Structure 1
């Protein structure tokens, strides 16, 4: 191999290596952006799941509260002293206090 071909070959290899290095840098930047986006999406997902769990918990609490209110409105005790027995049209201060406390 003559000197000129050798230098041409080395120059070509150097240019190829520079091009590969630039491609590697581009790939590295893209990877960083993807990791950052993934972290952001994971945080958003976690926040959404917490919000959803909170809403479901509030719905369950509301359902329980409405059930107790409905039982009392139908004429049954909801206080711990006489729970489930009929009130026979009379108001119960224990039930009313319990429901008022649960509503607050």
Structure 2
């Protein structure tokens, strides 16, 4: 009787080890895919950063300056007095002076 229990226990451990090995293989495959995706995304990020740097140098204006100009054109204040609030279609001398100073 004792021998039968021992063999059943060994058989159960073998089955458990097989399942663990299958899980390990699945985890290994997923890890490889994640590493490959990470490398791909890193390369894409580097290419994008190079493209942004190239565009900024070609235009001659900084990204920050273009952003401020765009904000003002979209109707928002860029001056320190009312920064980020809507201009409601009105011009702001502070904003215009600030942008003119930054462009020179």
- Normalising by structure 1, we get a TM-score of 0.57
In 1, the alpha carbon distance for the partners of 2:4 and 2:25 equals 32
> Is 1:47 aligned with 2:48?
no
> Is 1:35 aligned with 2:28?
yes
Pairing 1:73-88 to 2, within 5 Å after superposition:
none
In 2, the alpha carbon distance for the partners of 1:43 and 1:50 equals 11
Computing the radius of gyration over CA atoms, which structure comes out larger, 1 or 2?
A: 1
> Is 1:16 aligned with 2:9?
yes
| SS, match of residue 65 in structure 1 | helix
Structure 2 spans left out of the alignment, 5+ residues: 62-104
In 2, the alpha carbon distance for the partners of 1:18 and 1:47 equals 44
In 2, the alpha carbon distance for the partners of 1:67 and 1:11 equals 83
- Write out the 4+ residue segments of structure 1 that deviate beyond 3 Å after TM superposition: none
RMSD of aligned alpha carbons: 1.1
In 1, the alpha carbon distance for the partners of 2:3 and 2:9 equals 10
- Normalising by structure 2, we get a TM-score of 0.57
